[in-house]
Amino acid sequence: MSPFNAQKRHVVCVPLPTQGHVNPLMQLAKLLHCKGIHITFVNTEFNHRRLVRSLGPEFVKGQPDFRFETIPDGLPPSDVDATQDVIALCDSTRKNCYAPFKELLKKLNSSAEVPPVSGVIADGVTGFAIKAAKELGIPGVQFWTASACGFQGYLQYDELVKRGVIPFKDEKFIGDGTLDTNIDWILGMKNMRLEDIPSFIRVTDLNDIMFDFMGSEAQYCLRSSSIIFNTFQELESEVLDAIRAENPNLYTIGPLHLLGRHFFQKEFELSGLSLWKNDTKCLQWLEKREPNSVIYVNYGCITVMSEQHLEEFAWGLANSKNPFLWIVRPDVVKGEEYANLPQEFLDEVKDRGYITTWCPQNQVLSHPSIGVFLSHCGWNSTIEGISAGVPMICWPFFAEQQTNCRYACTTWGIGMEVNQDIKREEIEALVNEAIKGEKGEEMRQKCLQWKEKAMRATDTGGSSYNDFNQFLEALS
């Protein structure tokens, strides 16, 4: 049975308003749009203003059949060009976005300018959008924008409470070896430790906002009429099969940017939506570098660190003597508006380091000069790295990044993990091993195998290609 009305094709897309969630939902929206579906893409007012700054007012005017709408996020007004506080944002969206989103759906349905809304595709953690759609009799599905293994991890939150594993009695669990405890009872997941479960379980109080938010949103998503994943069957087969046993209506349609090659003439036309201005000059800089020689460093849109850790990363990169492209967001240092790197370091690396605030990541990762990706292991970065065949040095920050890191380093064999308390000597050693060492070569070969599998999944007749077409049929 189709999740959407068969006669009318107007889909409203609602991401959680952070860069890592907006991007994949925008990619999916573009794919649906190129198949003749009218799209309304809903941003928060805060992110809409950021898009005007990064892409210009003309972009956000949209097209006649691809429009942007906004809803408030419920947080105090701000024009800071940085990611909002994640805890406050998640708490606010579930408390404050339901009513304005429901009003937006009513407005769209009474408008003579657009077709009536036939369906809502809501981010896997925007249950408010599905609730509003249901109340108005509009079918909805959820798009879990992170990994399937991360999703399965969040689904264990209630079970961890039942088993008495959490809440922890006090903060000692962080350093006393508790997080090394093996977890062997999660269906579809092997070789897992407590520290590999999405990090919001690290609480001494079950009323913790993010523990409650992610656990309850994941359970709600599991009960959705259908769930879309930006992954491919072979990459996460065991965990996908375990989730499918709970909800058989899964569509694995990733990697989305590879699927886009069937529908867009330009290789990188299927881009997401960048809330930062992209520096494309770094691509020219990469042209001058040897194949597999450059370390690409990007911690994503949310990770923050201490000034000391930033400095350790800096000198680790400098001391490795390898060329590097380093994305340093202005807000990457916790509590600081700007990240300041020592002048001595800048002088040392001026001929072999390119430092900027944001870049077109897909194009960077696909460049032949990139030899290794030092990453926070966010899902977009992980699956883009896999698609490009680039091995990873993993420094997970929070959420399911720990789960993705575990899979990259064990199940997929494409990564090496950095100690959380960063030391320059370790960064230097890992980088050199990844670029020139035996382990690095081993990872590179594994990466190329996964890249080939990702290409096959998104080729005509592949698992992701077929799932996308089945989803399109459900929309028609």
The catalytic residue positions are 21, 123
Q: Identify which of 303, 272, 374 has the alpha carbon closest to the alpha carbon of residue 83.
A: 303
3-class DSSP assignment, residue 333? strand
Q: Are the CB atoms for 379 and 408 separated by under 8 Å?
A: no
Q: Where are the beta strands (DSSP E) in 407-457?
A: 415-417
Determine the Cα–Cα distance for residues 108 and 70; give it in Å rounded to an integer: 12
> Residue 143 — φ and ψ, nearest 5°?
-110, 105
Q: What region, left, alpha or beta, does residue 258 occupy, with left being phi > 0 and alpha being psi -120 to 50 degrees?
A: alpha
Neighbours of 87 (CB within 10 A): 13
Q: What region, left, alpha or beta, does residue 252 occupy, with left being phi > 0 and alpha being psi -120 to 50 degrees?
A: beta
Q: Which residues contact 86 (CB under 8 A, 6 or more apart)?
A: 18, 210, 302
Q: How far is CA 129 from CA 32, 87, 277, in A?
A: 19, 19, 29
- DSSP assignment of 451-463 equals HHHHHHHHSTTSH
Pull the structure tokens for residue 152: 């399965």
User: DSSP label at 173?
Assistant: G
